[in-house]
Amino acid sequence: MHANGNFWEYFNTEAGPRLAHRETTFRAIFQHLDTLPGRLNIVETGCARVAGNWAGDGQSTVLFDRYVCARDQDSACISVDLSAQSVAQCQSLVSERVRLVQDDSVHFLSQLAARMQQDREKVDLLYLDSYDLDMVYWMPSAMHHLKELAAMMRCIDQHTLVVVDDCPWNANTTSADAQSAQWFGSPSIGGKGRLIAEFAQACGAKLAFAHYQAGWTGF
């Protein structure tokens, strides 16, 4: 089952051109969702906060709302954010198909996973973007997102796509001048997804894409 043509027309003509460095990976997300049968559960941490901030924040909640509305009558998106102000702002941007919750994401996800497990439901897309990234002190954000993944693991299967925003490549370089650089070792996924990338490699998850956002299946 896939979203109807209205969604892809919207994505190709309106959303995609404004997404900048996230365009290719959001396209990959929705292409993956189109391959999955039946009702979908999309779970997001960190909701859209500012209307029209496509290149800055990605407007993920708006995109997920448009996708589930175009797909069927049953698919749903749940988004959790710690900020009551962000939740209120996001509510004005999306339809009733998105359930917005104000809570600590790890706390909420642990409770959500317990309910979903009891109902024998799974997550089809887990989108993690709840803790702002400090490019120098990246560890708190990366650790928080690893905790989010751990909280939802009981509701993830081999087809679930796990995506982390703000994952620029991490690399060690040196340069004799401003025109050249020498790499030491291979670049790796950094930012918010650095620890999830290490976990994914250790457990054999498949890297679906890695750009400014990174995504995996097979956890």
Question: For the chain, which residues make up each domain, given as ranges?
Answer: 5-217
For the entire predicted model, the pTM comes to: 0.92
Looking at domain 5-217, what is its CATH homologous superfamily? Vaccinia Virus protein VP39 (3.40.50.150)
* Closest residue by Cα to residue 165 from 57, 19, 68, 70: 57
Does residue 162 contact residue 217 with C-beta atoms inside 8 Å?
Answer: yes
Angle between helices 139-152 and 105-118 (to 10 degrees): 20
SS3 66: helix
In the predicted model, is pLDDT for residue 186 greater than 80? no
The first and second tokens of residue 13, run together, are 């003509």
In whole angstroms, give the CA distance from residue 149 to residue 168. 19
pLDDT tens digits, residue range 86-139?
999 999 999 999 999 999 999 999 999 999 999 999 999 999 999 887 778 888
Of the listed ranges 7-16, 178-187, 195-204, the least confidently predicted one is 178-187
In whole angstroms, give the CA distance from residue 196 to residue 138. 13
* Closest residue by Cα to residue 72 from 106, 121, 38, 30: 38
In which element (H, E) is residue 188 found? Answer: strand 180-189
pLDDT at 132: 81
